[in-house]
Amino acid sequence: MTDQWAGLRRFTQARIALGRAGHALPTRALLEFQLAHALARDAVRLPWDVDACAEAVRGLGAEVLVLETPVASRDVYLRRPDLGRLLTDASRARLARVNAGPVDVALIVSNGLSTSAVQRHGIPLLREVLGAYRGAGLRVAPVTLVANGRVALLDEVGHALAARVAVIVVGERPGLSAADSLGLYLGYAPGPGNSDAQRNCISNIRPPQGLSCRDAAAKLLGLTQRAIGRGLSGVLLKDETEQERRVLR
């Protein structure tokens, strides 16, 4: 009997048409599931070499600022999301001493929930993002690296640097089909009290299976320019990249 679902497997990484061996999964499908689960756990638990990342970012021609959250371990990071949204007092003092001048964008990087994602795609993505911003004449503050951070850090860092827009690159929560996906979050006029509704997200940055770094940077540049031009972000700001491409064609 032909399994009509089997042909669809080439279009998705979702677990469909796995088949069965008696009343259980086939051995191959079971082993693939166990491997995906192990990769997801490793993505969360893997320590991030911030110093190596900082050196690589300097190699892109950018200044770097390394800050910390009060999170003492990955276990604490998972149990206390609130601590990942805060900087330590020492980091706040270090940030206050930065004289970046007028800046359009504060760019933050954190391993978030997937260190694997930042290690594999972080530098290629930053290369494209910095290139796009520089090409558009936007002024970027020193790139801030913060281990064990959450998305809301963009407001504290962006506000301290008096940036018009704050952007955080963060490892996304790993799943059983993607353990190394990056997300980009953008907020206009970053500051205390801002909510998720005031942020835009570009997710599934994971070449070659997901969004490419170049396409993600193009989307981010478009969102950044529109956020500055219209004075808003979040649910009121839409990604118009595809519409613009169709007009150019």
pLDDT of residue 244: 56
In tens, the pLDDT along 186-195 reads: 999 999 999 9
CA distance 107 to 186: 9
pLDDT on residue 73: 93
Averaged pLDDT of the chain: 91
List Cα–Cα distances, 1 to 5, 22, 205, 209, in angstroms: 12, 16, 39, 31
**Which among 188, 5, 10, 35 is positioned nearest to 105, based on CA atoms?**
188
Is the pLDDT assigned to residue 1 strictly greater than 70? no
Q: Is the pLDDT confidence value at 249 over 60?
A: no
For domain 45-234+241-248, which architecture applies? 3-Layer(aba) Sandwich (3.40)
32-88 pLDDT, tens digit each: 888 888 988 988 999 999 999 999 999 999 999 999 999 999 999 999 999 999 999
pLDDT tens per residue across span 109-159: 999 999 999 999 999 999 999 999 999 999 999 999 999 999 999 999 999
Q: How far is CA 37 from CA 74, 161, 174, 203, in A?
A: 18, 39, 9, 21
Alpha-carbon span 94 to 79, nearest angstrom: 27
Residue whose tokens read 């704050």? 166
Is pLDDT of 245 > 70? no
Query: What's the pTM?
Result: 0.88
**Each residue of 86-97: pLDDT tens digit?**
999 999 999 999
Break the chain into its structural domains and give their ranges: 45-234+241-248
Which residues make beta-bridge pairs with 107?
167
